[in-house]
Structure 1
């Protein structure tokens, strides 16, 4: 149980609740209300004194002068003073407000005119000190008012003989009432301040939670849509906008699902969620005009109001099925990589035994036909050994230092030969243009790996290029920093944002029949030789297209005469 001393201590500690409030807070508003009430009271007193003198009930002009001075003082404080809580003692701020009120009402009480009792007016400074100040100041103000009333009763008893006990009793009762008013008003003000602080703390926590939720939703890789019953999208995170809009037509919420015919499956799923009042889950297909369809896995959840005061909202979670399938394929590839590494290690030992036995057998053979057979065995054994090494390198089953920079090639000569061979095999010589501007420049790369790299890039270009002449181009050039650049360009349609993000990941492809390993192998080969592979959308011959480029590390110049450069492929 709380003792009186503990209660007063708690009240004193909480009495500074208004001290650090800004000007336009609850304290500022209460302060302005009290200052306005003081001005109104002063105006009423001036009018009252003027009426008394006009009726001839009093010839004393001092009350009029006191009321006019009080009106000027209250107007000055209301117009120019800034809201500031009074201190714990009778400081200068107290004198400018509460002190002026107490002195003014005391003077009017001593200079009574027309038999008017001004004692009720002391409630204003008591309330002002109780609500806007600490409990000590409130009790101090009530005590000063009580003392003044007692002094007034004593002085009146000296001037006017009579029953002075009644006057002292009236002054004591009024003072007790002022003490009670000070206590109750101060406790109500403290409660209001505490409730306001709790409300502000709750509001700040709610805002912080809202910011955290927005950050989480913004960073989600899955798309999130918040839709009302009318099909209006109230909120959409960046991932959902990438899934629903063209790259150059990204819109912010709100927008209507009915504005795009491709979004009709989403609208149907939303209506089904509201109709059944239960979550829904489905795989849908969005058919965009002049674009490939996009398959999405959609989950809906209903955010319904518990008491029916707010409308229900449908929250839709969108996930690109290609990305889901790519993750599954990546996990499968990791398992296949571990299995491939184990198989490659197992193949190495018998392969070494085969090579050694073949070498021993070749030493004892004299017949040319038999030697030709052993040479064939040796050649294929070396090829198998090379494949085993590549499987181990690509699967990352063993840590391998960067490839030794001992394999160099003349880039233009090798690129020209590979492009010519590929064009003759695919019959695309009329559609392929070659521009070589890196003559007499060598790079660190193996010819067979460069062939595999270019064939993958050219096959991709042929798959998406148009049938017009020069719809594909291979180009080389030396960059400003000395690096050598190889580019394979085609006039295909722009890649979707989700496809571009995962271009070089294993088993990720925009086509269901593709393995999705071509660009991944290209990236692995480039990283092995310290080269960089990338993609960009550029224009060539006034036509925009897709360009895959490789930036090689330059190597010392090779001896020999280069074949030169040419602009177009021979027919």
Structure 2
């Protein structure tokens, strides 16, 4: 059985075939040929049959413009087959002995039934055609006499041919339908796999580009567009050409394939991108696949692996130090309370106790790293959150000047408690270094969507001297500090909490050259598993 759509197409094509056959028979009948090939025995019957058949075919042609249900299409097809057998039998009878040639047209009807209606209907049509041929031949035999007994034998042979044709076409149609089903299934599987591959490529955090040797982009995923800065940078979506800097790296790799990994900066103040190249396939020398990765994330991952073991080590050491440190602090406190202590010894006792407190703070920070609680990110309104944070921060730091620069409302995903710790640490550092240079405890908090990567971002801007270029990579390492009283763990803990919330914390001067710490959040529509 054919599918509904294929069945409608078959009905349409079969209708055109019937009209063509009718026109051919009409032409052959009305052309003045001697002797007449068809319709020579009963011309009036032939003319009436073929004209009536033509009217039925025209009616079927009109029906093509009407939307029929599957059951109606099958019923109409079956009726057409029966009408065709009847009309061709009448035409054969009207043509006399020459009608045996016309009866071969019945094979086409039976074959069409086998293809479109299935084996049962095909055998039914073969039986009807056989009965019609036998009836016509028997009637002719009665009319013409015993000398025409070969007509009965010819009719019997035709009946056998009809049934053989039905069986053979059924088997052929079955194989064709199975092949069509297999091809359709394979096409559907390939389409699903192609869609799955496209989905995987688009969801990858690694940028992927397929490009030709002429720098024409054949495929680019969203991560690559984000890393290259989208439409606002060198990436031309109109011409789909590689950016100039990336094209230069690509040409260098083509000339020297041993260069496996290269670095470049796609746009001003943008991240450093590590790019790797590979042939698209061994047999395809004209196209290559390009992988783009944010080098900052790679460095952070390597740093994380190194520091995770360090964190466990320092946590165990901190536990061992805490007990003797407590004893020293307690002894210094008791010594301080002694009435026989002179002023110099009292000063030394204060120094011991103050440093014990400082050491205890360091130990608490170290232990907080090892027993950091589960991160529970929530979707927050950046505008509302920063306004509330400003009020809380000014309540604890009344002498500070906090300036908010906010765009339209943006949503971010972050653990509220941890975000509060990160912003407090960054803002306290900002007002301290601003005061050292300008004499004012000033900080600017800027919330916006980055034009290049389209991700939410918060900038903490201060008016201090900033961080030297050669020190930027080390300020986030544990125990690094430029202050005599600092523990060196503040920025490290801030980055740890940011990474736990899939947020990138890095240092970069703003467009006016001011010192700036940037928090780049993940896309607000992403849902990350808690850590």
Query: Paired residue for 2:240, among 255, 263, 266?
Result: 255
Query: Paired residue for 1:513, among 467, 471, 474?
Result: 471
Q: 2:48 matched to 1:65?
A: yes
Query: Paired residue for 2:278, among 284, 295, 300?
Result: 300
Cα distance in 2 for residues equivalent to 1:161 and 1:525: 108
String of CA shifts for 1:417-448, please: whole Å, max 9, x gaps: 4x6xxxxxxxxxxxxx8769xxxxxxx9xxx9
Q: 2:156 matched to 1:198?
A: no
- Show the counterpart of 2:110: 126
Query: Structure 1 174/202 Cα, relative in aligned 2: closer, same or farther at 3 Å?
Result: same
- Show the counterpart of 1:349: 323
Mapping for residues 263-302 of structure 1, pairs under 5 Å: 263-270=247-254, 272-273=256-257, 281-286=259-264, 290-291=268-269, 294-302=272-280
Q: Please identify, of 211-220 and 353-362, the stretch whose mean Cα deviation from structure 2 is larger.
A: 353-362
Cα distance in 1 for residues equivalent to 2:80 and 2:374: 85
Mapping for residues 124-523 of structure 1, pairs under 5 Å: 124-245=108-229, 248-249=232-233, 251-252=236-237, 255-257=240-242, 260-261=244-245, 263-270=247-254, 272-273=256-257, 281-286=259-264, 290-291=268-269, 294-305=272-283, 312-369=286-343, 370-393=345-368, 395-397=369-371, 412=394, 415=397, 417=399, 453-457=426-430, 474=442, 487-488=444-445, 497=453, 513-514=471-472, 515-517=474-476, 519=491, 521-522=493-494
**Normalising by the residue count of structure 1, what TM-score does the alignment of the two structures yield?**
0.66
Cα distance in 2 for residues equivalent to 1:232 and 1:220: 21
Cα distance in 1 for residues equivalent to 2:492 and 2:10: 71
Cα distance in 2 for residues equivalent to 1:521 and 1:495: 28
Q: Where do 5+ consecutive residues of structure 2 fail to align?
A: 377-390, 405-416, 461-466, 477-489, 520-531
1:374 to partner: Cα distance:
2.4
Cα distance in 1 for residues equivalent to 2:349 and 2:159: 125
Query: Structure 1 190/75 Cα, relative in aligned 2: closer, same or farther at 3 Å?
Result: farther
Q: Please identify, of 357-366 and 340-349, the stretch whose mean Cα deviation from structure 2 is larger.
A: 357-366
1:451 to partner: Cα distance:
8.3
Does the 8 Å CA contact 1:226/1:234 hold for their aligned counterparts? yes
The SS at the match of 1:302 is: strand
Does the 8 Å CA contact 2:42/2:94 hold for their aligned counterparts? no
Query: Structure 1 378/59 Cα, relative in aligned 2: closer, same or farther at 3 Å?
Result: closer
Does the 8 Å CA contact 2:459/2:516 hold for their aligned counterparts? no
Cα distance in 1 for residues equivalent to 2:424 and 2:71: 87
Does the 8 Å CA contact 1:227/1:315 hold for their aligned counterparts? yes
What do you get for the CA RMSD once the two structures are aligned? 4.9
String of CA shifts for 1:126-156, please: whole Å, max 9, x gaps: 1221221211211221122112222222222
1:456 to partner: Cα distance:
2.8
Query: Structure 1 97/353 Cα, relative in aligned 2: closer, same or farther at 3 Å?
Result: same
Does the 8 Å CA contact 1:225/1:235 hold for their aligned counterparts? yes
Q: 2:19 matched to 1:34?
A: no
- Show the counterpart of 1:483: none
Runs of 4+ in 1 over 6 A off after TM superposition: 52-56, 82-87, 433-436, 448-451, 459-463, 498-504, 523-526, 532-535, 543-549
- Show the counterpart of 1:49: 29
Q: Please identify, of 168-177 and 287-296, the stretch whose mean Cα deviation from structure 2 is larger.
A: 287-296
Query: Structure 1 77/99 Cα, relative in aligned 2: closer, same or farther at 3 Å?
Result: same
1:38 to partner: Cα distance:
1.1
Query: Structure 1 435/325 Cα, relative in aligned 2: closer, same or farther at 3 Å?
Result: closer
String of CA shifts for 1:375-415, please: whole Å, max 9, x gaps: 3322322232233223322x14366999xxxxxx9954864
Cα distance in 1 for residues equivalent to 2:117 and 2:468: 72
The SS at the match of 2:146 is: coil
Does the 8 Å CA contact 2:430/2:442 hold for their aligned counterparts? no
The SS at the match of 1:255 is: coil
Does the 8 Å CA contact 1:461/1:489 hold for their aligned counterparts? no
Q: Please identify, of 93-102 and 323-332, the stretch whose mean Cα deviation from structure 2 is larger.
A: 93-102
**Normalising by the residue count of structure 2, what TM-score does the alignment of the two structures yield?**
0.71
Q: 2:4 matched to 1:21?
A: yes
Does the 8 Å CA contact 2:141/2:148 hold for their aligned counterparts? yes
- Show the counterpart of 1:481: none
Query: Structure 1 462/47 Cα, relative in aligned 2: closer, same or farther at 3 Å?
Result: farther
Query: Structure 1 400/149 Cα, relative in aligned 2: closer, same or farther at 3 Å?
Result: closer
Query: Paired residue for 2:60, among 54, 62, 77?
Result: 77
Cα distance in 2 for residues equivalent to 1:544 and 1:75: 85
Cα distance in 2 for residues equivalent to 1:115 and 1:171: 13
1:206 to partner: Cα distance:
0.6
Does the 8 Å CA contact 1:225/1:236 hold for their aligned counterparts? yes
Q: Where do 5+ consecutive residues of structure 1 fail to align?
A: 1-15, 274-279, 403-408, 420-432, 437-443, 476-486, 527-531, 550-571
Q: Please identify, of 232-241 and 364-373, the stretch whose mean Cα deviation from structure 2 is larger.
A: 364-373
